[in-house]
Amino acid sequence: MDAASQNRNALIAFGALSGAGIILAFGRTWKWFSKSGRDLIDLATIGKFFAYICGIIGTILLLVTAGVSIWYLIFIKNISEITDANIEQLQNLLRTFLITAFVLKLIDIIHIIIRQTRIEIFFMDWERPKTGEIYKNENETYSILGTSENVSVWRTYFAANELNEIQTFRRVNVPFQILFVLFFLKVINLESYSCGDGKFISSSSNLDCSRSNTIVRIAVAFFVLLGTAIVQNLFFTIFYQRFIEDKITNFIDLCSVSNISVFILDENFHGYYIHGRSPHGMTDVNMKDTVMNLYREENRMSGTRGLEPNSDEQIFIMKINRSFRRQYQSLLQAYY
pLDDT digit string, tens, across residues 298-311: 888 888 888 888 88
Average pLDDT, rounded, for the chain: 83
pLDDT at 256 over 70: yes
Q: How far, in Å, CA of 292 to CA of 117, rounded?
A: 40
For residue 313, give the amino acid letter: E
Partnered with residue 120 across adjacent β-strands are 265
The predicted pLDDT at position 10 comes to 86
More confident position, 162 or 207 = 162
Q: Where are the beta strands (DSSP E) in 108-160?
A: 120-125, 133-136, 142-145
Confidence of residue 232 (pLDDT cuts 50, 70, 90): very high
Q: Which of 70, 73, 50 is nearest to 62 (CA)?
A: 70
The predicted pLDDT at position 55 comes to 94
**Within a 10 A sphere around the Cβ of 333, how many other Cβ atoms?**
8
Sign of the torsion formed by the C-alpha atoms of 196, 198, 199 and 201? positive
Mean pLDDT for the stretch of residues 268-273: 92
DSSP 144: E
pLDDT tens digits, 177-213: 999 988 988 888 887 776 655 555 555 455 555 566 7
